[in-house]
Structure 1
Amino acid sequence: MKYRVMADDREILRELWEGRVPVCIQLASEDCNTMSAPDPYYLMVPRQSYFPLVMEKVRKHFSRAISSSLQEADVWLEYDGVPLKWHYPVGVLFDLYSGGFGIPWNLTAHYSRFPEKDLIRCPSRDAVGSHFMSAVKEADGLKHRGQVITNMQSRDHKQLWHGLCNDKFDQFWTINRKLMECGADESFKNIPFRLHIPDSPPIQKLIKPVADDGRRLTLGDLLSEVIPDKLNEGNKVVIQGIEPPPETPIQWLSEHLSHPDNFLHICCLPPQQA
Structure 2
Amino acid sequence: MSQNETEQMLQEFKSNGYIIPHPSLLKTPEQIEGIRESAKITTQILDLVEKEIKEGMTTAEVDKIVYDYTISRNAIPAPLNYMGFPKSVCLSINEVVCHGIPDNKTVLKSGDIVNVDVSTILNGYFSDASRMCMIGDVTPAAKALVETTKECLDIGTKQVKPFKSINEIGRAIEPFANQRGYTVVRDLGGHGVGLKFHEDPHIDHFAKRNKGVLMLPGMVFTIEPMINEGGYSVKVAKDNWTVTTRDGSLSAQWEYTIAVTKSGYEILAW
Q: Same fold (TM over 0.5)?
A: no
Which structure features the higher share of helix residues?
Answer: 1
Q: Which has the bigger relative contact order, CA under 8 A and spacing at least 6?
A: 2
Which structure features the higher share of strand residues?
Answer: 2
